[in-house]
Amino acid sequence: MLIGTSYYSPATIKGVFILEKKDVNQYSPLTLAFLGDAVYEQLVRERLVLTANVPVGKLHKEAVLRVKAAYQSAAAGLIERMLAEDEAAVMKRGRNATGSTVPKKSNPIEYRHATSLETLFGYLYLLGNNKRIRELFDYIWDNTESE
């Protein structure tokens, strides 16, 4: 069942849905962030599992450290200088998006920067640009530490 009335007919390459840039830009930044949050968290979980075969409780604690707003905010700042013009514009849209409530454990500035990172990951995912997602994620992982 589709929600709403807008639907873009995606092309598929190897089972991955790909939209054109003009179609991806029609999505709100918070919608892109909704998807990007899942993309980013999956990458974190995948990396943790492939790094060490440890109890799930330890994996969960480490994942939480890397998906919380403070970490993602720092990650967004880290990759800003690496971004193409369109990617920087998408992050700016995500950072300036309104309507989201800030969790108690986050400060509003960090939360907006974290949202900008998630927006970028959602945008790149819908474009089918998994290579770029991996490049940015690998850079973040290699140049940050969890608390």
pLDDT for position 9:
54
Q: Going by CATH, does the domain composed of 11-143 fall within 1.20.1630.10?
A: no
How confident is residue 79, by pLDDT bands cut at 50, 70 and 90?
very high
Residue ranges of the domains in the chain?
11-143
- Cα 54 from Cα 109, distance rounded (Å): 34
Q: Is 117 exposed, middle or buried (0-12, 13-18, 19+ CB in 10 A)?
A: buried
pLDDT for position 2:
44
Please state the pTM of the whole predicted model.
0.86
pLDDT for position 58:
95
- Cα 1 from Cα 102, distance rounded (Å): 30
The yes-or-no answer on residue 23 being catalytic is: no
Exposure letters 86-105 (e unless 16+ CB within 10 A, then b): ebbebbbbbbebeeeeeeee
pLDDT for position 35:
95
pLDDT for position 75:
97
| pLDDT exceeds 80 at position 1 | no
pLDDT tens-digit readout, 84-140 = 999 999 999 999 987 667 777 788 899 999 999 999 999 999 989 999 999 999 999
Catalytic residue among 37, 86, 138, 142: 37
pLDDT for position 50:
94
Mean pLDDT, residues 26-50: 95
pLDDT for position 12:
54
Mean pLDDT, residues 15-28: 77
